């Protein structure tokens, strides 16, 4: 899908600029821009969307460039040695295709993703199969004390040795 945006040029003229899905700040079932779940670390690094590598349990954790927005503490991109990219977290500028992002009320998440279910013992983390996803990709949402999304991510069904939660 390509969107056309009108830009003002001089005294009332317009010029057309196009944006492609790679330009949009939308976290899909298996990718964000050119970054894909299952992608090798080398290919993921080549996208320019990974900065500041840090060792994590069973994997390497990367931040996204500041131009992609701010992640919640602990959010980012996780790369497992044998599985490649296994988690892509959202930022304050990124949304899911349903428009859900950081700050969205839990009620909106439940409305957008009817299969949403709590996961883990805390009651603050939920996941759902990612619409359009293949191979078991899921969206995971964490909410804060007022039931607003504080973090979200697209995750591979198998994160291998990478511990992300």
Residues in the chain: 165
Per-residue pLDDT reduced to its tens digit, 85-117: 999 999 999 999 999 999 999 999 999 999 999
End-to-end CA distance of the chain: 34
* Averaged pLDDT of the chain: 87
Per-residue pLDDT reduced to its tens digit, 143-162: 999 999 999 999 999 999 98
Per-residue pLDDT reduced to its tens digit, 123-136: 899 999 999 988 89
- Taking residue 62's Cβ as centre, other Cβ atoms within 10 Å add up to 22
Question: Exposed, middle or buried by CB within 10 Å (0-12, 13-18, 19+), for 132?
Answer: exposed
For residues 10 and 48, the model is more confident at 48
């Amino acid at each position: 899908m390509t969107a056309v945006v009108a830009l003002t040029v001089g005294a009332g003229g317009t010029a057309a600029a196009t944006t492609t899905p790679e330009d949009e700040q939308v976290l899909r079932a298996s990718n964000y821009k050119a970054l894909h779940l299952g992608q090798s670390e080398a290919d993921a690094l080549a996208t320019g969307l990974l900065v500041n590598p840090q060792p994590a349990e069973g994997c390497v954790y990367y931040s996204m460039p500041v131009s992609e927005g701010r992640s919640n503490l602990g959010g980012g991109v996780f790369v497992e040695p044998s599985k490649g990219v296994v988690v892509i977290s959202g930022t304050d500028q990124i949304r899911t295709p349903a428009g859900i992002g950081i700050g969205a009320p839990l009620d909106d998440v439940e409305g957008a993703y009817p299969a949403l279910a709590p996961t883990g013992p805390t009651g603050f983390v939920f996941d759902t199969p990612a619409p359009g996803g293949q191979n078991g990709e899921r969206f995971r949402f964490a909410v804060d004390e007022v039931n607003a999304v504080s973090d979200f991510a697209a995750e591979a069904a198998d994160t291998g040795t990478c511990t992300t939660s």
